[in-house]
A and B are shown apart, each in its own frame.
Chain A
Amino acid sequence: MSMIELQDINVRYHSGKSENHVVRGVNLSVARGECVGIVGESGCGKSTLLRSLVGLEGHWTGSISINGEALGPIRTKDQLRCAQMVFQDPFASLHPRHRIRRALSEPARCMGLPVDDARIAAALEEVGLPASFADRFPHQLSGGQRQRVAIARALIVEPPVLLLDEPTSALDVSVQAEILNLLSDRRDERGLTFVLVSHDLSVVAHMCDRIFVMQNGGFVDELSPADIGAGEARDAYARQLLAASFLEELA
């Protein structure tokens, strides 16, 4: 059974008389436990699509269902818990004047889940941070440390679906390896379903079962990890992405 089902999703932003049609007729079906990747041009609508899916974007049309339940633009607590998002931007996603403890406990409390200090310590350790970081403010952490906090915050409510928007683009490759292994382990253990947006084709090839290439708000190609390894694609834009990605540098 499919965990995520998107039909004909469109997102339009209006400013004055002009209309910006950002997501154009996206259909997507993701099986339980599957990891699907999205790559594509900057500004083509990837984050907007994920925000619509997770309930942060009210302007979409079409139909969204997660775990068999049809979802509207406004969600209940339980509906919000079932899909968590890790944002592209680890700076903007943490409140600058809240300590890490609060950043981690607040979403859980909002969804009616109890959190004590031991739970927070475990959540930090799970992403490779010392428990003492609970007392810090976001500006006292490096970019990569903040992103790990963001991942801990998404995992703490134990959602079945995780939407990852460039989760490791702010991380160095050693932490990236840790985080990607951590995400794979959680997926194996709990059967989590992932949608992963990344500009790094090696990352999506490593993590995903299927990869969609997005351009101008719509999917233009679907690749397998092996296609990326071989540098092969049907669509011209997808081929251009493969060619520009320095995949051969380390050979």
Chain B
Amino acid sequence: MTDTKEILTVQNLDVTFARSAMKAVAGVSLSLGQGKVGIVGESGSGKSTLGRAIMRLLPPSATVTASKLTFDGNPLLSQSEREMRALRGNRMSLIMQDPRYSLNPVLPIGRQVAETAILHKGLSKSAARAVAAEMLDRVRIKDVARVMESYPHQISGGMGQRVMIAAMLLSRPRLVIADEPTSALDVSVRGEVLELLNELVTADGSSLLLISHDIRMVASFCDRIVVMYKGRIVEELSRLSDARHPYTLGLIAAMPDARHPVHRLRVPDRATFDATERSGSPA
């Protein structure tokens, strides 16, 4: 897909948490048009913080600065909380790393998904329930009628992820930030959920920012791969085989490969990346 029109522009984004000396996100610049961009990087590298900063969902203890942060031309950092609420879950949507955390524990699943359909499509209650049921079926939820009556603690991890994705798909946003949306899904259901996300991107011209640890999945699904380390983008790739930065190469080497069994996995040597970071350019 060609990035004809910019949907999201991020320039020089910094995030600092109170009482922390290090920036959780440091000097990140990124521009997204229609298409699928994946973010990979180690735990704690700032991926979720970046996603939440774009959505303006960080706690007050976080200081966010950027020379530019615009979504569809709206400068996000100067929007009021009310304007942000109107954007969130409507034209921009975040699927959080933990689905059950973001569902309301005291409302049945069906009502929560139908609520989105009422909000975004202006449907009546019963029409919204029907649309919700259909969408839950499309994300391969089995036994939809039972699941709609269930509460969040009564569904499995992977079911929760699909419920969040179904709700998001109903609002058909321009920008989706999906934080580990498929980590609890088995590989065959994952394939179908990815196909639905792909449809959203191709049919509606939306932009998907997919945060994941699964380098194999990101490499085969996304158009571009952004690699983060310690809050910074160290490399942007269109194919994994183009990787040059020792950090990216270390991540690739750390993955188990069923066809080449090893006794111990290779643990990347952080000292090497840090030296590369200090000298400023990849070796």
Give A residues with C-beta under 8 Å from B: 13, 15, 18, 20, 39-43, 47, 88-89, 91-92, 142-145, 166, 169-178, 180-181, 184, 199-203, 205-206, 225, 228-230, 240-241, 244-247, 249-251
Contact = CB atoms under 8 A, between A and B. Distances in A.
Contacts of A203: 256
Contact of B42 (A39, A175, A228): A175
Interface of B: 40-45, 48, 97-98, 100-101, 142-143, 146, 149, 154-159, 162, 180, 183-191, 213-217, 219-220, 240, 250-252, 254-262, 264-268
Nearest to B61: A140
A181 B48 CA distance: 26
Nearest to B43: A144
Nearest to A214: B186
B261 A92 contact: no
B211 to A, nearest CB: 10
Contacts of B255: 173, 177, 202, 250
Given A181-B265, A244-B187, A176 B213 contact: yes
Nearest to B44: A142
A41 to B, nearest CB: 5
Contact of B189 (A41, A178, A184, A249): A41
Contact of A173 (B146, B187, B213): B213
Given A89-B100, A170-B183, A206-B258, A145 B157 contact: no
Contacts of A13: 154
A246 B257 contact: no
B261 A229 contact: yes
B93 to A, nearest CB: 20
B103 to A, nearest CB: 12
A15 B149 contact: yes
Contacts of B252: 250
Contacts of B250: 174
B215 A166 contact: no
A201 B42 contact: no
A1 B73 CA distance: 67
B101 to A, nearest CB: 5
A88 B220 contact: no
Given A174-B250, A175-B42, A202 B101 contact: no
Contact of A43 (B98, B149, B156, B259): B156
A171 B214 CA distance: 9
Contacts of A43: 142, 155-156, 158-159
Contacts of A169: 183-184, 213
A189 to B, nearest CB: 14
A244 B43 CA distance: 25
B101 A181 contact: no
B258 A229 contact: yes
A145 B47 CA distance: 14
Given A42-B189, A47-B156, A229-B261, A180 B256 contact: yes
Nearest to B96: A91
B156 A42 contact: yes
B186 A177 contact: no
B44 A173 contact: no
B41 A42 contact: no
Given A42-B157, A43-B142, 18 more contacts: A18-B146, A20-B143, A43-B156, A43-B158, A142-B48, A143-B180, A169-B184, A170-B180, A174-B254, A177-B254, A180-B265, A199-B183, A205-B256, A206-B256, A225-B261, A229-B260, A244-B188, A246-B216
